[in-house]
Amino acid sequence: MFALASSAVLYFIPPSPIDKHLVRGTFQPYQGHAYLIPFKYFDGPLDAARLYEDDRLLGPASSPMQEIIDKGAGRFELHLDRTNLYSLVLVLSTSDNTNPNTNGRKYHLK
């Protein structure tokens, strides 16, 4: 009876909207401060990508890979990985060069 009543209550609760900009998955450590994550879809030119750490805009965008590795501090790049069927890859560093898998922050790519 309890299961039936709780199911009825859940039926009336509206579903939460899906955040299509949220970067989901496990960030793979690359080198230095750089982390990689495949990104399935981005609507717009790659050089117009904006990355947010919670509500904070990161950047500079389209940073050279070596700067992301050496300096970090929020630099990132979104590019096509030509070795993997032209999929998108986000290369990022966090604002304080911590691990994005464990720092408790959310990342949004718009």
At residue 103, the pLDDT reads: 98
Nearest to 34 by CA among 80, 82, 94, 86: 94
At residue 2, the pLDDT reads: 47
**Domain hosting residue 65, numbered range:** 18-109
Residue 6: inside a domain: no
* Count of structural domains, the chain: 1
Residue 12: inside a domain: no
At residue 13, the pLDDT reads: 56
Cβ 68 vs Cβ 58: under 8 Å: no
Cβ 88 vs Cβ 38: under 8 Å: yes
Residue 33: inside a domain: yes
Helix (H) or strand (E) holding 28: strand 28-29
At residue 77, the pLDDT reads: 96
Cβ 99 vs Cβ 92: under 8 Å: no
Residue 30: inside a domain: yes
Residue 25: inside a domain: yes
In tens digits, what is the pLDDT along the chain, a chain of 110 residues?
Answer: 544 444 444 455 555 566 778 999 999 999 999 999 998 778 888 889 999 999 999 999 999 999 999 999 999 999 888 777 668 999 999 999 999 999 999 999 99
At residue 86, the pLDDT reads: 62
Residue 4: inside a domain: no
